[in-house]
Amino acid sequence: GGLKDVNGNLIPAGTSFQGQIKDFGAGPVAINQAWWQGRGSASNSASYKQFVEDGSATRLREVSLRYSLNAKSIKFISKLSSIDFSVTGRNLVLWTNYTGTDPEVNISGAGLARGQDWFTNPNTKSVLFSIQVKY
């Protein structure tokens, strides 16, 4: 006899292991390292081969455009010394064959996580307009 872990590996009776024993209704199972890193984890976060795909991508991360009207061009309108107009866009375009929302995000939010993307939001797209007036 013995006890099986979540992957079906037998831990012989009397063998010590790091972890604990739980019974979820189908008999006792070893909650060991395999549980937390494999199929049975609390969030069922195993990375199965059929769901792993290439996450290569190219992104237009940030682009800015600025235009300045100097004193000569606006002097006849007002006593301003300059007016600057600018527009900045972030995460405007993503080129990828990845089928998920965004290959840069994952469920845990940590950069060192497994890269699982269920229930995740893509990186935020934003456009910022600004006007700077100098007297």
Long-range residue pairs from 110-113, CB within 8 A, at least 24 positions apart, any chain = none
What confidence category does residue 111 fall into, taking pLDDT thresholds of 50, 70 and 90? low
Residue 43 pLDDT? 53
For the segment 84-94, the average pLDDT, to the nearest whole number, is: 96
> CA distances (Å), 54 to each of 80, 100, 123, 129, in order?
54, 11, 18, 35
Mean pLDDT of the chain: 81
> Which one has a higher pLDDT value, 73 or 43?
73
What confidence category does residue 40 fall into, taking pLDDT thresholds of 50, 70 and 90? very low
Is the pLDDT reported for residue 41 higher than 50?
Answer: no
Q: In the sheet that 82-96 helps form, which strands lie side by side, from edge to edge?
A: 57-69, 82-96, 126-134
Percent of the chain with pLDDT over 70: 80
**pTM of the entire structure?**
0.56
Dist CA 59 CA 8 (whole Å): 42
> CA distances (Å), 67 to each of 84, 86, 114, 134, in order?
6, 6, 43, 14
Range from 40-44, 76-80, 119-123, 130-134 carrying the lowest mean pLDDT = 40-44
What is Dmax (Cα atoms) for the chain?
A: 95
